[in-house]
Structure 1
Amino acid sequence: MSILALDLGTSSVRGLVLDDAAVPVAGALARRSVEVAVDDSGAATLDATAYLTALIDCVDELAAAGHLDGVRLVAVSSLWHSVVPLDKSGVPLGPLVTWLDTRPTPPPGVTGPADPDAFHQRTGAWWHRFYWTVKLPWLRASAGPGLFLFTGLPEYVLGALLTEAPMSVSQASGTGMLDLAALDWDDEALAIAGVTRAEVPPLAPAGWLGRLRPEYARRWPALAVVPWTPPVGDGAASNVGTGCFEPSHAAVTVGTSAAVRLVQPVPPGAPLPPLPALVWRYRVDHERIVTGAAYSAGGNLFAWAKKTLQLPLGEALEQALAPIAPGKTEVRADPRLGGDRPPGTAPSGAGALSGLSFSTTPAEIFAGLMDGVCEMVARDLATLESTVDGATEVVLGGGAMAAQPWWRRAFQVALAPRTVRHVDNPEVGAVGAALLAAGLIPAAPAGR
């Protein structure tokens, strides 16, 4: 059995074929870059229609090369926290708002949850611009007439390809409006967002499988009767893809953004573990939760620094960084150039540097920025470990980790004395989604 994994990311959309053990097949990869439109207002949006075209192009490329022959299952990993307003025909009424967008503000007079702590425990989220409780009323004010439904990126693109595309509990948890224990939309969250259940997607039940629409079944005959599994949030999929699907292992993933996360088994109806005040919690699927902290600074910070500081590339950059000891950089940095992820509220442009002199080199500034991210992760990992028994083993993953050896060493220093190892696989999200879709993750007893 082969598995087609689709990875719907912030900076690219990828399709790859994996074998029956969820190992990528050499050469069976199609990728299209997508561009987030950003400006000084804090906007960070994607063209949903162009994104769908990019996804179709990827599948077309794999089909033309014969890579879809033998595929028996389709898995999807997708960015979390996106939203786009649609009309009754499913046509976007504006661009898709991504997790990077810092513009949403609450409407005047709305005060949020009656009990913020209880709301946080129930939904894993806060009343924050990052989540649909603030995004939806803000979008409604600008969407104009004809608004019919709010939906996320995976539901939009899969809605065009499949006969139906309900929202997975994983994607719904990323909206900040899902009751994580009841696995249903939270009534208070819906009220705060000012929407009815008819204005948000239906939720996919356990065991849901999708099928291609007839026109796409004819276009890709190898996939005509192949089942599609519910999309998994990219962060949860990345944890699984790095082997971190039990609470003894924490994943630090650095792709476009960065995050530290722990996965725990919590099946439907089981009580949720207490949630510390400054970390979030979402659903991996119906059987597992993921708790963590995330940062707007990750691979995007790496890319910005390389361009702005005109850093050398490859081995030349490593040589420039070699004299700089991780964790002891003279340049101190607040790396929040893109603002805060929740529960923080710092806007885009909150980054800062100190300790500069006329002798400071671009490599030293770069090292200070990378160290700044490591410090944030180390702080929040300690909070996550307070919810489980003992320290965790840490697995580093993601494209930026694969590309930057000095940064990997900096994480090892910041997270010591924990065991820290690196998984050199830029496709951990797709691999994780495939492992979950194929049921290749061993069940762990609840409470571990």
Structure 2
Amino acid sequence: MSHTLAIDVGSSSVRAMVFNEQGLAQKDIFVQKPYQSKTTPDGGVMIDPANMNEMIFACIDEAIEQTTQAKLTINRVAMDTLVGNLMGMEADGQPTTPIYTWADTRGGGLVEKLRPKVGDYTRRTGCRLHTSYWPVRLLWLRNEQGAAFDQTRYWLSLGEYALYCIFGQRRISLSTASWSGLFNRHQLTWDDETLEHLPVTADQLSEVANTPFEGLPDEWAQRWPALKDAAWYPSVGDGVASNIGGDCARPECVALSLGTSGAMRVVVPGTPEETPDGLFVYRIDADRSLVGGALSNAGNLYAWLNNVLQTGDKDALQQAVGAIEPDSHGLTILPFLAGERAPGWNANAQAVFMGMTFDTRPEHLVRAALEAVAYRFYQILRRLQPLLPDDVQFIANGAGLINSPVWMQIMADVLGAPVYGSGEAEATIRGTAILAMGVDLPPSLGDGCQPDPDHHAIYQRAVERQQALYDKLLR
């Protein structure tokens, strides 16, 4: 039986697991190495490229050791990474910059300067002019980090860099290229119309292809003899992997991801002619696209409230929050602690808590925050609706919903549709392996919540109230 070594580079850790051709994780093979991004007061969020490579390679070391003990043969190596990341590299492979992540908000003031120059940018690329994508990041780097910018020969993502250090070749998958904001999703090439207005050229970007690297160079074959004949696939976007691994590879199954950040995404055939208002369209491959929207504020908002309010016992908090009737706390929250991505793409948006009184308790604030995030997911659903069949189900993955029955029920009531937990505990890293294997596996669903029509009606009014506050303060 063939096996795939999958590596997941998330926003706080690097992990490695092994999956068989049925998409089942192999017992006792698991490596995880946590890390912290460097942040700056002006909105910077960065990762050191050398340290990241060390963690990726160390995860592979330990996974191979565990695999050898289990007497398994690895036929493929696949990787997913947090997307929207960018770094510079000299011709000799030395990094010229840190890895800038999607969460880095610097350069937002350049968006309006670029907008009139790039024409129908969103239709071509499926992306928005925003700090989480490469065009704005590149302009900011030229303006603010001129010496490093001039020293840079190539621009690439962290997954590309890791594989470049192994194979000496630059190759980017369609999904990662599409997530850069520089890829024409209709022509499946780098977008010349955007590049004309940026201080970079297409030859500074990598070859776009999903084809694997083969033939591990001698230096690395000595380190990893078990992988010398394996196929190594270009890294893919974590959002794509999450959909595939969470059994959301069809239009009737919409992925609802809620971890640190959040996203609602659906896989569709081909690519839509137009990009839905406020959403993204990313290519998975030549035959499929991923359509949806991402939220910068989800589980991180809940964690922040727990910390600030010092809520203590999480089980007791969940019970108290669950006892509160829908939208009965008198609060309206705009949950933008980390700016806004979909659907408004306002990098300068900040959080607003309105309606607090002396009667407001911690559980009221937490309940209102969970509902507020659900309302932002509903705004994405409104825009996705024309692409969806009549009968859809939402499949949740990520600790935010899976570990909170209260939040999952709120989500079902707000969306007005069933929400099921994914039967796969490790959706993203599993999806990375499935994409490399090229198989289509049957779905596996966990427990779910059915919507309450009365609660849905209450939340419809609350959605409109939140949107009215948004329009008044942030438009």
Give your verdict on TM over 0.5. Answer: yes
In structure 2, the CA distance between the partners of 1:342 and 1:439, relative to structure 1 (3 Å rule), is same
For the residue of structure 1 that corresponds to 2:138, the secondary structure is: helix
Aligned pairs for 1:131-210 (under 5 A) are 131-141=133-143, 142-144=145-147, 145-204=150-209, 206-210=210-214
Q: Does 1:102 pair with 2:105?
A: yes
Q: Partner residue of 2:9? A: 8
Cα deviation, 1:61-101, whole Å, max 9, x if unaligned, reads: 21222358311111211111000111222222222111111
Mapped contact 1:396–1:420 kept (Cα < 8 A): yes
Equivalent-residue separation in structure 2 for 1:186 and 1:169 (angstroms):
13
Q: Partner residue of 1:283? A: 283
Mapped contact 2:111–2:136 kept (Cα < 8 A): no
In structure 2, the CA distance between the partners of 1:17 and 1:113, relative to structure 1 (3 Å rule), is farther
Equivalent-residue separation in structure 1 for 2:441 and 2:117 (angstroms):
39
In structure 2, the CA distance between the partners of 1:347 and 1:8, relative to structure 1 (3 Å rule), is same
Aligned length: 436
Please, what TM-score do these two structures have when normalized by structure 1?
0.91
Aligned pairs for 1:12-411 (under 5 A) are 12-65=13-66, 66=68, 69-105=72-108, 110-112=113-115, 114=117, 116=119, 118-141=120-143, 142-144=145-147, 145-204=150-209, 206-266=210-270, 272-341=272-341, 344-347=344-347, 350-411=350-411
Give the residue type in structure 2 aligned to 1:239: N
Mapped contact 1:274–1:387 kept (Cα < 8 A): no
In structure 2, the CA distance between the partners of 1:111 and 1:72, relative to structure 1 (3 Å rule), is closer
Equivalent-residue separation in structure 2 for 1:216 and 1:398 (angstroms):
34
In structure 2, the CA distance between the partners of 1:68 and 1:156, relative to structure 1 (3 Å rule), is farther
Equivalent-residue separation in structure 2 for 1:86 and 1:343 (angstroms):
33
Give the residue type in structure 2 aligned to 1:147: T
Equivalent-residue separation in structure 1 for 2:215 and 2:21 (angstroms):
20
Q: Partner residue of 1:446? A: none
Cα deviation, 1:18-51, whole Å, max 9, x if unaligned, reads: 1221111222110111212223211111112111
In structure 2, the CA distance between the partners of 1:329 and 1:166, relative to structure 1 (3 Å rule), is farther
Q: Partner residue of 2:471? A: none
Please, what TM-score do these two structures have when normalized by structure 2?
0.86
Mapped contact 1:163–1:211 kept (Cα < 8 A): no
In structure 2, the CA distance between the partners of 1:107 and 1:370, relative to structure 1 (3 Å rule), is closer
Equivalent-residue separation in structure 2 for 1:253 and 1:108 (angstroms):
28
Q: Which runs of 5+ in 2 are unaligned?
A: 443-475
Query: Among the aligned pairs, what percent are the same residue?
Result: 29
In structure 2, the CA distance between the partners of 1:108 and 1:394, relative to structure 1 (3 Å rule), is closer
Q: Which runs of 5+ in 1 are unaligned?
A: 444-448
Equivalent-residue separation in structure 1 for 2:112 and 2:123 (angstroms):
24
Q: Partner residue of 2:460? A: none
Cα deviation, 1:256-313, whole Å, max 9, x if unaligned, reads: 21010111121xxxx6433222111111223210111111012222322222221234
For the residue of structure 2 that corresponds to 1:120, the secondary structure is: helix
More helix by share: 2
Equivalent-residue separation in structure 2 for 1:44 and 1:3 (angstroms):
31
Mapped contact 2:82–2:237 kept (Cα < 8 A): yes
Instruction: Measure how far apart 1:211 and its partner are.
Output: 4.5
Instruction: Measure how far apart 1:327 and its partner are.
Output: 4.7
